[in-house]
Amino acid sequence: MDNKSSHPSKSKRRENPSPLIFLVVLGAAFFMATLFTAWTPSGLFSGNLSEKMSMMLTAQPEGNPTLSGGDYPQLRIGIISGHWGNDSGAVCLDGNGEVTLTEAEVNLKIATLVQQKLIQSGYQVDLLKEFDPRLDGYNAVALVSIHNDSCVYIDENATGFKLSAAMDTEDLTRAARLTGCLRDRYGGATGLPYHSGSITSDMIDYYVFSEISKTTIAAIIETGFMNLDRDILTQDTDLVAEGIVQGIECFVNNESVKPTPAPTIPPISTISP
């Protein structure tokens, strides 16, 4: 419920946590590599992906008003509302120590809007709980888990968003594309800075990443800090959701990402208590 343990981690199930640093470096390398590589329009369908796509495509249910065709296929996208159905996540307290806002409720508000927007765009969207049983072997073209960071005032740099991709996937390039798209579009939509230096191990080691299908491209986003970013998170939630939606659509549609990342700010020295 705070910085150190804001997301369920699979680390306790792991015997050897040492690959963490490697994964961070690898992730950064892939991100940089993809920044300077033009996305090919055929990228999404390269390799043996047609096989994977067939698993992700779901027949359009009859009577669904979002699309006019009868058998029009829809791409499936998963959205995890962080902590939903499990715990409160980070909390904001008033002067008397009473909880005034929980991360779980902020996450659910954002995740619900993301789901609605994606459905309007013609996708089939699963809104998933933390530890949702459907996550076991989960198959989708993309899966994004929505979280938020601490409500405790840390310092003036404790503002902005963080991203981490699932590195257990079979396709690291596409995993880096998802985070590249989210970083560009979310940063562009919200104007929030990107925290490249304070991605915590519980984001990289997020338990979901080891449970889903290896063909599902997944990422976790912390959309902001509940202290300094509280206003945009709670009062401009539609914009926050729109940034995530644009990032997902950038990934699915293979849109280009300019090598002009959102402004970054230094790591927070006291991120862990």
Rounded to the nearest whole angstrom, what is the least distance from the CB of residue 51 to Zn ion in the complex?
Answer: 34
Residue 169 contacts Zn ion per CB under 5 A: no
Pairing verdict, β 124-129 and 74-81: parallel
Helix (H) or strand (E) holding 76: strand 74-81
Rounded-to-integer distance, Cα 68 and Cα 122, Å: 10
Residue 89 contacts Zn ion per CB under 5 A: yes
Q: Which of 8, 27, 78, 82 binds Zn ion (CB under 5 A)?
A: 82
Residue 7 contacts Zn ion per CB under 5 A: yes
Instruction: Read off the amino acid at residue 251.
Output: F
Rounded to the nearest whole angstrom, what is the least distance from the CB of residue 163 to Zn ion in the complex?
Answer: 14
Residue 224 contacts Zn ion per CB under 5 A: no
Task: Classify burial at 241, counting beta carbons within 10 Å of its beta carbon; exposed 0-12, middle 13-18, buried 19 or more.
Answer: buried
Q: Closer to Zn ion at the Cβ: 130 or 249?
A: 130
Residue 8 contacts Zn ion per CB under 5 A: no
Q: Closer to Zn ion at the Cβ: 127 or 257?
A: 127
Residues with Cβ within 8 Å of 169's Cβ and at least 6 positions away in sequence, in order, are 175, 214, 215, 216, 217, 218
Rounded to the nearest whole angstrom, what is the least distance from the CB of residue 105 to Zn ion in the complex?
Answer: 12
Radius of gyration of the chain (CA): 18
22: left (phi over 0), alpha (psi -120 to 50) or beta: alpha
Residue 201 contacts Zn ion per CB under 5 A: no
DSSP assignments along 123-167, one per residue: -EEEEEETT-GGGTT---SEEEEEEEE--S---TT--SBEEEE-T
Rounded-to-integer distance, Cα 161 and Cα 136, Å: 27
DSSP conformation class of 61:
P
Rounded to the nearest whole angstrom, what is the least distance from the CB of residue 231 to Zn ion in the complex?
Answer: 19
Indicate the residue whose CB is closest to Zn ion.
Answer: 147
Stretch that binds Zn ion, among 120-128, 146-154, 185-193, 208-216 (CB under 5 A): 146-154
Q: Closer to Zn ion at the Cβ: 89 or 160?
A: 89
Q: Closer to Zn ion at the Cβ: 100 or 120?
A: 100
> Can you read off the two tokens belonging to residue 107?
């996450």
Residue 162 contacts Zn ion per CB under 5 A: no
Rounded to the nearest whole angstrom, what is the least distance from the CB of residue 240 to Zn ion in the complex?
Answer: 15
Q: Closer to Zn ion at the Cβ: 124 or 145?
A: 145
Rounded to the nearest whole angstrom, what is the least distance from the CB of residue 94 to Zn ion in the complex?
Answer: 21
Stretch that binds Zn ion, among 36-44, 135-143, 144-152, 243-251 (CB under 5 A): 144-152
Residue 234: helix, strand or coil by DSSP? Answer: helix
**Total residues at interface with Zn ion (CB under 5 A):** 5
Rounded to the nearest whole angstrom, what is the least distance from the CB of residue 74 to Zn ion in the complex?
Answer: 29
Question: Which whole-number Å values give the CA distances from 31 to 25, 106, 132, in the listed order?
Answer: 10, 28, 29
Q: Which of 109, 117, 147, 174 binds Zn ion (CB under 5 A)?
A: 147
Rounded to the nearest whole angstrom, what is the least distance from the CB of residue 82 to Zn ion in the complex?
Answer: 4
Q: Report the interface residues with Zn ion, using CB under 5 A.
A: 6-7, 82, 89, 147
